[in-house]
Amino acid sequence: MNDAHVPPRPGALPTATSPTGTAATAPAAGVSPTGTPPAAVRALDLSKVYGTGEAAVRALDHADVAFGSGEFTAIMGASGSGKSTLLHLLAGLDSPTTGRVVLGDTDLTLLDDDALTLLRRARIGFVFQSFNLLPMFTAEQNILLPLELAGRRVDAATRAWFDQLVGILGLRDRLTHLPSELSGGQQQRVAIARALLTRPDVVFADEPTGNLDSRSGAEVLDLLRTSVRELGQTVVMVTHDSAAAAYADRVVLVADGRIAGDLRRPTPETVQAHLDALREAALTSPTTAQVR
Ligand SMILES: Nc1ncnc2c1ncn2[C@@H]1O[C@H](COP(=O)(O)OP(=O)(O)OP(=O)(O)O)[C@@H](O)[C@H]1O
């Protein structure tokens, strides 16, 4: 979907050695012998420690995980297990204490703040639980905001893509409305259109249905799934809800800052069974964080 034949981007992984002089260890992003799709984004030995000394909290603890291109992955785990930290690091919204995040062939941890901001605008979409729309802008203006920020004009191809997205997301008759004139589900659909507009490498969604009633939540999940199946989008979503996770192709489980499980073709029942097993393990292991 994205620019396959562009020159190397700033921060592109070196082919031979990393800046530390060690061999670049990122595995090749090709299709594996098992048919797993190439990775859109990878966490490599990723750790995040908040605070120092006695107050230090290890939110992520040497996490290694890859998210397949064109796949819908849900991240689940107990409260405080590190899901949001992982998502924010993967999206370049925060920086790791150690380890690397590799988006396609770009090592985010090698980029300075300006390069990271540009990369986020061009290659990453984000959908937040609280929608994060600008209240004084109409739905259309909110959707087109990423282009405004990037100083890109709306050419004919972009307008056609905008029209397609607006049609798929059922927003055609809401474009002139302000966010305050839209329901929560409609606001989240505007946020999804905004996230998809630049055809990002990955859309990260943090509890996107957390503020929605179950019907609007199901619509939003259907649309995220449609964006994966029909538009080839890669989506990585944090959720607490096993029914929501079952919309995904895969569920990655996080416990105590570590990757604790990986489930393909999830159903609400299999997801719940894995979460229950994690909770059991936490209760019987004094070293594992409390599962609430
Ligand atoms: N800015 C911060 N400063 C200090 N500690 C933090 C910070 N952000 C997160 N933490 C801690 O890191 C750990 C992981 O937090 P994180 O928000 O990633 O968990 P989570 O799985 O997303 O939780 P929840 O499901 O409740 O949102 C928790 O112990 C949390 O208190």
pTM of the model: 0.85
DSSP label of 110: G
Ligand 1 atom 30 nearest Cα: 80
Neighbour tally for 18: CB within 10 Å: 15
Atom of ligand 1 nearest to the CA of 77: 21
Determine the residue of 85, 130, 240, 258 to mutate for testing ligand 1's pocket, defined as the one with the most ligand atoms within 8 A of the Cβ atom: 85
pLDDT of residue 287: 52
Which token pair is 283?
A: 């209760």
Residue 185 in this model has a pLDDT that exceeds 50: yes
Contact 101, 109 (CB under 8 A): yes
Residue 4 in this model has a pLDDT that exceeds 50: no
Atom of ligand 1 nearest to the CA of 207: 27
Average pLDDT over residues 211-238: 91
How many Å apart are CA 144 and CA 200, to the nearest integer?
14
Average pLDDT over residues 142-159: 89
Q: Is 196 helix (H, G, I), strand (E, B) or coil?
A: helix
CA of 80 to the centre of ligand 1 (A): 5
Average pLDDT over residues 189-214: 92
Characterize the bridge pairing of strands 98-103 and 106-107: antiparallel
Determine the residue of 50, 58, 61 to mutate for testing ligand 1's pocket, defined as the one with the most ligand atoms within 8 A of the Cβ atom: 50
Residue 193 in this model has a pLDDT that exceeds 90: yes
Q: Where are the domains of the chain?
A: 39-284
Domain 39-284: state its class. alpha beta
pLDDT of residue 48: 98
Angle, helices 156-168/139-150, rounded to nearest 10 degrees: 140
Q: Which residues line ligand 1 (CB under 6 A)?
A: 50-51, 57, 59, 77, 79-85
Residue 18 in this model has a pLDDT that exceeds 90: no
CA of 82 to the centre of ligand 1 (A): 6
Residue 249 in this model has a pLDDT that exceeds 50: yes
Residue 15 in this model has a pLDDT that exceeds 60: no
